[in-house]
Amino acid sequence: MSNLYDVTIIGAGPVGLFTAFYSGLRSLKTKLIDAEPAVGGKIRHFYPEKIIRDIGGIPEIEGQQLVKNLHEQAQAFHPTIICGEQITKLTKQADGTFLIKAENGNYHYSKTVIIAAGSGTYEVNPLEVSGSETYTTSLFYDIKDVASFQDKTIVVSGGGNAAIDWAQALEPIAKEVHLVYRGENFKGHEERVKEMHDSTIHVHINHEITALQGNSTNLKSCIIHCNRNGSTTKIDTDAIVVNHGVKVNLGSMLDWGFDTSEYGILVNHEMETSVPGIYACGDICAYPRKMRIIAAGLHEGPIAINSAKNFLDPEADDVAMVSTHHESFSEV
Ligand SMILES: Cc1cc2nc3c(=O)[nH]c(=O)nc-3n(C[C@H](O)[C@H](O)[C@H](O)COP(=O)(O)OP(=O)(O)OC[C@H]3O[C@@H](n4cnc5c(N)ncnc54)[C@H](O)[C@@H]3O)c2cc1C
């Protein structure tokens, strides 16, 4: 059957992308599927413009540049890449192959499956304030283009790392930045919190946004309410950036037959799940001392592929030839 793949990777975040590259290196017919409209996983979704500094050999790289590089690298062996399809069901068939069903009714067929689904699909927690449905063009749940906030007055709502990061990223270019947090003790890194307090960011602890005001669909101001003394303050603003966390949704994935724990899909040192032929890597997999960082997943993906290769062909080499000696990259 021509639409039967050797490997189907569910999730095209950084780990799924690199796993697809390595799968090509092992001459496996590969398909990569993601629920989001584009590849890149959490990086694309949450921090495309942030600088990543903890990948060996790359002192610093902007998130979206890393995604671009990984995407380009993944395409080296021409895998099939499908975006915008959330996988909802995975069934082992009588012949041992897998039937993979997407929410839109599409079916995919594969001899092995690698789950690189991160934390599942994600949905940001909305700003639950009356009017938020009216001023949608002034409400942001992530920032893809910092420059578009040039000379604007911005209110950032939230108290975690992401809220602090965005307030700090906007401070140099915005006219004014306000950070509104309902709590008292910020959950961000200590050093970043100190930097924020030393900056020009107007910090409003123990406050919550309670109303949005404007003309028609143009936001003009918001009202913040102090949960300590009940006072209210009006802030003139052009935009509100909301960082109230995300709901992650593993959907039906936990019912796909493999063993899981509260931390994700349980794997052994070969990235095997409890179902032969299904492997997991990246943020979704769980084992003692698992690190949920990109570098860890870039190691786990190739292990999963090597295990899949040996599952398909027990006589195959345990690992691919290193790229410097690999026939696909040899100079002519
Ligand atoms: C704000 C923030 C900053 C971070 N900074 C760093 C950093 O500086 N350095 C670092 O190393 N790490 C950082 N991380 C962690 C890093 O982003 C993750 O470790 C990494 O993204 C994991 O990659 P992944 O491919 O396993 O999962 P993800 O990036 O989560 O990608 C998983 C993909 O799977 C898809 N998916 C899920 N379920 C399905 C389904 N049912 N069907 C189809 N597709 C599905 C999702 O849509 C998603 O695209 C940060 C994370 C956050 C949130």
| One-character DSSP codes across 164-230 | HHHHHHHTTTSSEEEEEESSSS--S-HHHHHHHHTSS-EEEETEEEEEEEEETTEEEEEEEEETTT-
Q: Residues comprising the binding site?
A: 34, 42, 47, 87, 283, 324
pLDDT score at 174 = 97
Does the beta carbon of 34 sit less than 6 angstroms from any atom of ligand 1? yes
> Annotated binding residues for FAD, as ranges?
34, 42, 47, 87, 283, 324
262 lies in the same domain as 284: yes
294, 298, 299, 300, best to mutate for ligand 1 pocket (most atoms within 8 Å of CB): 294
Same domain membership, residue 193 and residue 130? yes
Give the model confidence (pLDDT) of 145-174 as tens digits. Answer: 899 999 999 999 999 888 998 999 999 999
> Residue 98: which of 175, 222, 5 has the closest Cα?
5
d(CA 58, CA 81): 26
Q: What is the pLDDT of residue 324?
A: 87
Same domain, 22 and 55: yes
Total domains, the chain: 2
Which CATH number covers residue 317?
Answer: 3.50.50.60
**Confidence (pLDDT) at 187:** 81
The reply to whether 204 and 265 lie within a common domain is no
- Measured from the Cα of 282, ligand 1's closest atom is 26
End residue of a domain, out of 244, 276, 293: 244
Q: Is 135 in the pocket of ligand 1 (CB under 6 A)?
A: no
Question: Quick one: 255 and 148 in the same domain?
Answer: no
Residue 253 and residue 113 share a domain: yes
Is the CB of 33 inside a 6 Å radius of any atom of ligand 1? yes
Nearest to 210 by CA among 229, 187, 235: 235
**CB of 158 closer than 6 A to ligand 1?**
no
pLDDT at position 99: 97
Domain end point (choices 244, 278, 311): 244
Residues 61 and 44 occupy one common structural domain: yes
Of 188, 220, 244, the domain-final residue: 244
CA of 149 to the centre of ligand 1 (A): 26
Q: What is the model's pLDDT at position 209?
A: 97
143, 311, 108: which is closest to 242 by C-alpha? 143
Question: Domain limits at 88?
Answer: 4-122+247-329
Predicted local confidence at residue 48, as pLDDT = 83
Residues 34 and 113 in one domain: yes
The CA distance from 27 to 298, in Å, is 18
Considering the domain architecture, whether residues 254 and 282 belong to the same structural domain is answered as: yes
CB 287 within 8 A of CB 266: yes
Query: Does residue 164 sit in the same domain as residue 133?
Result: yes
Residues 128, 245: Cα–Cα separation, whole Å: 13
Residues of the chain with pLDDT under 70: 1, 331-332
Do both 176 and 195 map to the same domain? yes
Tell me: do 265 and 117 sit in the same domain.
yes
Given this model, what pLDDT does residue 331 score? 63
